[in-house]
Amino acid sequence: MSAETEAQVLLERRGPEIAIVRINRPEVRNALNLTVRRQMAEIFRGFADEEALRCVILTGDERSFAAGADIADMSRIDAVEMYHRHTERLWGAVADCPVPVIAAVNGFALGGGLELAMHADIIIAGRGAKLGQPEVKVGIMPGAGGTQRLTRAVGKFRAMRLCLTGEIIGAQEAYEMGLVSKLVEDDQVMQTAIDMAEELARLPPIALAQIKEVILHGQDAPLGAALALERKAVQILFATRDKQEGMSAFLEKRQPRYTGS
């Protein structure tokens, strides 16, 4: 099997409810070449048809989540080839995943690696993780959402600082500025992600899907429109069997059994 066709992204399963997507280029700190992006998109597109799936964990290894785009690859292409790659469509498969996506970050999440993590819904980082958008230091700029998702996550002035200077920050600072959802010890990142995924898998899937949809689509809408979207989603949930099960279980003091119906 050639280097271009071997599995550079691995899919692991913990039953039908939880999928683990792992970038597998440890020799280059999981740098993101076109093969990684295409293999990841293929995996994530397949999730759309999995009714039993409840959560996806996106990760790298203990040394690096993804240290950015593959500079050797990018140095060889021009603007037209960059255009024809349409990498935004490949990353879109991650952002459009219908179930919650948890990014489990150890080591480096830089450039495209941080942009990839920001396509997830929750970011769990180890205390030793390093995050940043250093593209300016090689003559370019963030091009997979770094200027936009980062601004929405941490605000204009922090995003300006990170993108303009290319500064790499520690996980503690990233957590304090709102870029990281949860900060844990380095050796607890994956287990924490698995525990959270298992917790999510026990919750009503239609409610989770509606929460994710309303937060993502409401954040850029006018407040009135976003609140209307929220109200409509709540009304939809009142038609589900899981709503009845959840409230009945609460009143009967027992554990609910959600079916996604």
pLDDT at 28 over 50: yes
- Indicate if 72 and 184 belong to the same structural domain: yes
Is 42 catalytic? The answer is: no
When divided into structural domains, the chain yields a total of 2
Q: How confident is the model at residue 1 (pLDDT cuts 50, 70, 90)?
A: very low
115 is catalytic: yes
- Catalytic option among 111, 112, 146, 166: 112
Query: Active-site residue among 19, 66, 115, 145?
Result: 115
> pLDDT tens digits for 113-166?
999 999 999 999 999 999 999 999 988 888 888 999 999 999 999 999 999 999
Out of 69, 104, 193, 201, the active site residue is 69
pLDDT at 84: 66
Asked if residue 3 is part of any domain, the answer here is no
Helix locations, 58-155, DSSP H: 71-74, 79-85, 87-95, 112-118, 146-154
Per-position b or e across 199-210, b if 16+ CB within 10 A of its CB: ebbebbbbbbbb
81-88 long-range contacts (CB < 8 A, ≥24 apart) are: 85/34, 87/34, 87/37, 87/144, 88/144
- Taking only the tens place, the pLDDT of each residue in 40-92 is 999 999 999 899 999 999 999 999 999 977 677 767 777 787 776 777 888 89
Q: Model's pTM, two decimal places?
A: 0.92
pLDDT confidence tier of residue 199, bands split at 50, 70 and 90: very high
Summarize pLDDT for 209-253 with one digit per residue, the tens.
Answer: 999 999 999 999 999 999 999 999 999 999 999 999 999 999 999
Beta strands across the sheet bearing 130-132: 64-66, 108-110, 130-132, 168-170
Residue 72: its pLDDT value, please?
A: 73
Cβ atoms 103, 59 nearer than 8 A = yes
221 is known as an active-site residue = no
Q: Is there a single domain that holds both residue 69 and residue 168?
A: yes
**What is the overall mean pLDDT for the chain?**
93
Residues 194 and 236 in one domain: no
CATH code (residue 99): 3.90.226.10
User: What does the pLDDT read at residue 82?
Assistant: 74
- Tokens in use for 208? 């989770």
Q: Answer whether residue 14 is part of any domain.
A: yes
**62 a catalytic residue:** no
Q: Is 216 found in the same domain as 192?
A: no
Mean pLDDT of 172-187: 98
In-domain check, residue 222: yes
Structural domain harbouring 190: 9-201
